[in-house]
Amino acid sequence: MWPFIVLGVVLVLLLGGVIFMFAYTTPIAEKVYREYLVNPDPEHRKRECSCVTNEEQVAMWNAGCEWAEARREKMREVEVSRDGLRFLGEYYDFGYDRAVIILPGRCECLKYSYFYAKPYEDAGFNVLVIDQRSYGLSDGEFNTIGKEECEDLKVWIRFAENELHMHSIWLHSICVGSSTAVLLASSADCPESIKALVTDGCFISFRESFKTHMEDLKKPTFPVLGMVMNKIKKNTGTDVDAIAPIKLIDKVKIPVLFLYGEKDIFSKPEKSKLLIEKCGSSEKEVEWFKEGAHSHLRYTNPGQYDAAILRFSKKDVFAK
């Protein structure tokens, strides 16, 4: 009799603990999801620096805006639409016969991408910067971790081909923007105009990267991480594990330049090397940077960063 009573008490305590845990963590998961993966004010869109407390981020923002302002006469505003949503961008026409589309990281608008444009201008590219869905002035509420952004990107590529007459297009992607780029480059219907991918800080999976982000924010990862991933799937249909770059990179056949920092805590070197090794391209290179935080490699190492892109752009494969 007593063993059954003890077992019952234990089960009640365990059940109570589970209920308490979920009651405690559910609001945390909702707050994390809403703060980092949802446009908080879709009716009042704006382009602004995403982290005004980070000195490096502000410096990158200001330097990029200076680049854009000095080339304002070369710019025209552009837009595309898909599924009833409008997506806005800016096109800088320097008179070249090839262009780069810059895909910024999470929470960033097209002004963030200005900072990465100069090495491409110097290398002989026109530059297309875009507000991805739910950021900047573009429509949308949810970040889909690349799933819908990839389809949006195909629309931008068709626009670049048909309206801008660009048939040699590169993708430059930062952080989660690389999830979009890898998804596109690995797809069976990747446009032939996409000639190369340059990826800055590409993670092996969003789940792993976001776990590190939550740890950095001092948030509990269990069970909050799983709850956030479930919210992504519920609201956007995205299975973050199914579209993880590590599961797709072997299908990427176009030339790839990987840019990684040896001190990156979100795209850790030991995991990044797995991605590089698995990449299916026969024309792949990696540039390692001894210093620099995640997504801030060009700020810390502008000369090395720009030289790597210029060197890669001169590969014989692009002369064919």
How far is CA 314 from each of CA 124, 220, 291, 308, 309, rounded to the nearest angstrom?
A: 10, 46, 25, 10, 9
pLDDT of residue 12: 46
Q: pTM to 2 decimals?
A: 0.93
Domains of the chain, earliest start first: 53-205+241-314 (3.40.50.1820)
- C-beta of residue 117 within 8 angstroms of C-beta of residue 126: no
pLDDT of residue 218: 87
pLDDT of residue 219: 84
pLDDT of residue 118: 98
Q: What does DSSP say about strands 85-92 and 75-82: parallel, antiparallel, or unpaired?
A: antiparallel
Question: pLDDT 10s digit of each residue in the chain, 320 long?
Answer: 556 554 554 454 554 444 545 566 888 889 889 988 998 776 778 899 999 999 999 999 999 999 999 999 999 999 999 999 999 999 999 999 999 999 999 889 999 999 999 999 999 999 999 999 999 999 999 999 999 999 999 999 999 999 999 999 999 999 999 999 999 999 999 999 999 999 999 999 999 999 998 898 888 898 999 999 999 999 999 999 999 999 999 999 999 999 999 999 999 999 999 999 999 999 999 999 999 999 999 999 999 999 999 999 999 999 86
